[in-house]
């Protein structure tokens, strides 16, 4: 007889020993399995385009962020809309996978300090080409994983130094084409606020001065991406030295925009190129030189290998005598440190010269030169050791003091013996005067010095010689001391005159 084949029910499958219900519940289950990340409520917002975890709502004429947003969204593009205010509740639900948020060309005027609380994994934030005016304190503090922040082409005038607090992974910060007159560059100097920052764009702002000395102390890999062009900077020599060294080192921020690096001289309305200030009046700045260090005998110095490559693979030094110092250390006087610097101990005169640091970078190799000058004397020697310049200075000072003592402290022989009220006699009287000139007659009854008047009126001196000037009249004095002064010689030199002595 023919074999019977059992007929299975419609809901039975030979490989699945279960009943599968057919109806609306099966349809919902199929949608759940096909939706990305298995999110039940993850539907694409109206007027947006969704592709996997990418959500594009660009140029959709939106005045607010559409809600709800799918939780699996990793990239959200809201550019070229009319979202003027970004409040704290723009995304009520947490978006743990969002790492890129694009909000450029929206006319944004306000961003809440709590706007990024629900997007802690954000790494790329684009707020460019809006109307932001201030960066308030702790504005981006919730974005601990942010790496790129675009704020160019806004109306920013004020930047709070705490606006970038907790941004330990920020690598690129674009602030060009704003109205910033002062940026807190101490964030770069401290090195703890933005430790990973490798690019800072401050071009086309209103900066008038920058601390050139502090910027020169920054690592070369940061100065390589520090853009300051198209700012009304004031011309000075430290600024020229900073940019001239950068041009010599082929730093991108200087070489790529050397024609846009201008400054303003006092009294000159037209800006000039900063790199043309060498030898130009009125500043007359000197040419930039390589790194030069000065030291003294017995000192210890450290020569830095300031490369413009951040990911340096290896370094080695070469001394002026041609000796190579590799990464395995060195002798007792020359040591290669862990950060690539070369330390020289107990300096000697033969250590003077140019040292070269060879750097192997991720893209190209680089060679840095450091010139060391060792002075042939110790800076802190014993107290009884005087160098030639110091000895010469002390000798000159002592000579001047002795001359002053001789001129102003020498005793005068006639300042105490001559009366202060007697006027000085003419020079010819001192020549013809004599200690034996006519003395007053003390026998006359009145006691007046009549002999003095007779001698001056007769016109003849002792021994028939003519006395040209005569003795000037002396006012009457009382007492014997006054009469004794009349017979005093007018000059000390009268005792050496040629008048003979009559006994």
DSSP readout, 393-411?
HHHHHHHHHHHHHHHHSSP
Spatial contact of 325 and 334, defined as CB atoms under 8 Å apart: yes
Task: State both tokens at 308.
Answer: 């413009």
Q: How far apart are CA 82 and CA 130, in angstroms?
A: 10
Instruction: Give domain status of residue 330, yes or no.
Output: yes
Spatial contact of 156 and 180, defined as CB atoms under 8 Å apart: yes
Instruction: Give domain status of residue 428, yes or no.
Output: no
Residue 145 CB partners (closer than 8 Å, separation 6+): 120, 121, 122, 123, 169
Instruction: Give domain status of residue 333, yes or no.
Output: yes
Task: State both tokens at 237.
Answer: 């020599």
pLDDT of the chain along its 503 residues, tens only?
Answer: 444 444 444 433 433 333 334 444 343 333 333 344 434 345 888 889 999 899 999 999 999 999 889 989 999 999 999 999 999 999 988 999 999 999 999 999 999 999 999 999 999 999 999 999 999 999 999 999 999 999 999 999 999 989 998 999 999 999 999 999 999 888 887 667 888 999 999 999 999 999 988 888 888 889 999 999 999 999 998 899 899 988 988 899 999 999 999 999 888 888 999 998 887 778 888 776 667 778 888 888 888 887 777 767 777 888 888 788 876 555 678 888 877 888 888 888 888 888 888 787 776 677 777 878 888 766 554 444 445 666 788 888 988 888 888 887 766 555 555 545 555 555 444 444 444 344 444 444 444 444 434 334 444 444 444 444 444 454 554 444 444 444 444 444 444 444 444 43
Instruction: Give domain status of residue 327, yes or no.
Output: yes
pTM, rounded to two decimals = 0.61
Task: State both tokens at 220.
Answer: 């070369």
Instruction: Give domain status of residue 334, yes or no.
Output: yes
Spatial contact of 304 and 351, defined as CB atoms under 8 Å apart: no
Instruction: Give domain status of residue 78, yes or no.
Output: no
Q: Return the number of other C-beta atoms located less than 10 Å from residue 337's C-beta.
A: 14
CATH number for the domain including 366? 2.60.40.10
Give how far Cα 354 sits from Cα of 209, 242, 259, 290, 488, Å: 33, 21, 32, 10, 83
Q: Residue 359: give the domain boundaries.
A: 293-374
The total of structural domains in the chain comes to: 1
Instruction: Give domain status of residue 317, yes or no.
Output: yes
3-state SS, residue 241 = helix
Instruction: Give domain status of residue 312, yes or no.
Output: yes
């Amino acid at each position: 007889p023919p074999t019977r084949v059992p007929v299975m029910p419609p809901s039975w499958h030979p490989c699945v020993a279960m009943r599968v219900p057919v109806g609306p519940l099966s349809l919902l289950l199929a949608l759940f399995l096909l939706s990305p990340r298995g999110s039940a409520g993850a539907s694409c917002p109206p007027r947006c385009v969704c592709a996997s975890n990418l959500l594009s709502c660009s140029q959709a004429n939106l005045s607010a962020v559409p809600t709800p947003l799918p939780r699996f969204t990793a990239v959200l593009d809201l550019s070229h809309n009319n979202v003027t205010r970004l409040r704290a509740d723009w995304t009520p639900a947490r978006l743990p996978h969002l790492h890129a948020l694009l909000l450029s060309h929206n006319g944004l005027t306000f961003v809440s300090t709590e706007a990024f609380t629900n997007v802690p994994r954000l790494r790329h934030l684009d707020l460019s080409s809006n109307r932001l005016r201030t960066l308030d304190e702790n504005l981006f503090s919730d974005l601990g994983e942010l790496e790129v922040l675009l704020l160019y082409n806004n109306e920013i005038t004020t930047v709070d130094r705490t606006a970038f607090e907790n941004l330990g992974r920020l690598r690129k910060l674009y602030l060009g084409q704003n109205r910033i007159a002062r940026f807190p560059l101490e964030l770069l100097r401290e090195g703890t606020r933005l430790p990973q920052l490798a690019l800072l764009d401050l071009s086309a702002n209103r900066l008038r001065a920058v601390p050139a000395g502090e910027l020169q102390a920054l690592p070369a890999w940061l100065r390589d991406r520090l853009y300051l062009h198209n700012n009304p900077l004031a011309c000075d020599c430290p600024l020229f030295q900073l940019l001239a060294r950068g041009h010599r080192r082929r730093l991108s921020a200087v070489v790529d925009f050397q024609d846009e690096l201008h400054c303003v001289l006092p009294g000159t309305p037209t800006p000039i190129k900063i790199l043309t200030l060498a030898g130009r009046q009125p500043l007359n700045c000197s040419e930039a030189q390589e790194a030069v260090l000065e030291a003294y005998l017995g000192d210890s110095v450290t020569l830095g290998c300031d490369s413009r490559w951040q990911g340096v693979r290896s370094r080695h030094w070469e001394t002026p005598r041609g000796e190579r110092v590799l990464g395995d250390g060195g002798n007792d006087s020359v040591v290669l440190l862990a950060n690539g610097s070369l330390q020289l101990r107990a300096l000697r005169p033969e250590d003077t010269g140019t040292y070269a640091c060879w750097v192997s970078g991720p893209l190209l190799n680089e060679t840095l030169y450091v010139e060391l000058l060792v002075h042939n004397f110790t800076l802190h020697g014993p107290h009884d050791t005087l160098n030639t310049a110091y000895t010469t200075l002390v000798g000159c000072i002592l000579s001047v003091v002795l001359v002053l003592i001789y001129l102003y402290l020498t005793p005068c022989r006639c300042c105490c013996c001559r009366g202060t009220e007697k006027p000085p006699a003419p020079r010819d009287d001192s020549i013809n005067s004599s200690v034996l000139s006519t003395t007053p007659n003390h026998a006359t009854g009145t006691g007046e010095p009549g002999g003095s008047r007779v001698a001056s009126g007769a016109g003849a001196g002792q021994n028939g010689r003519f006395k040209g000037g005569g003795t000037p009249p002396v006012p009457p004095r009382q007492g014997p001391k006054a009469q004794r002064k009349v017979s005093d010689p007018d000059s000390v030199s009268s005792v050496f005159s040629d008048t003979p002595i009559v006994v």
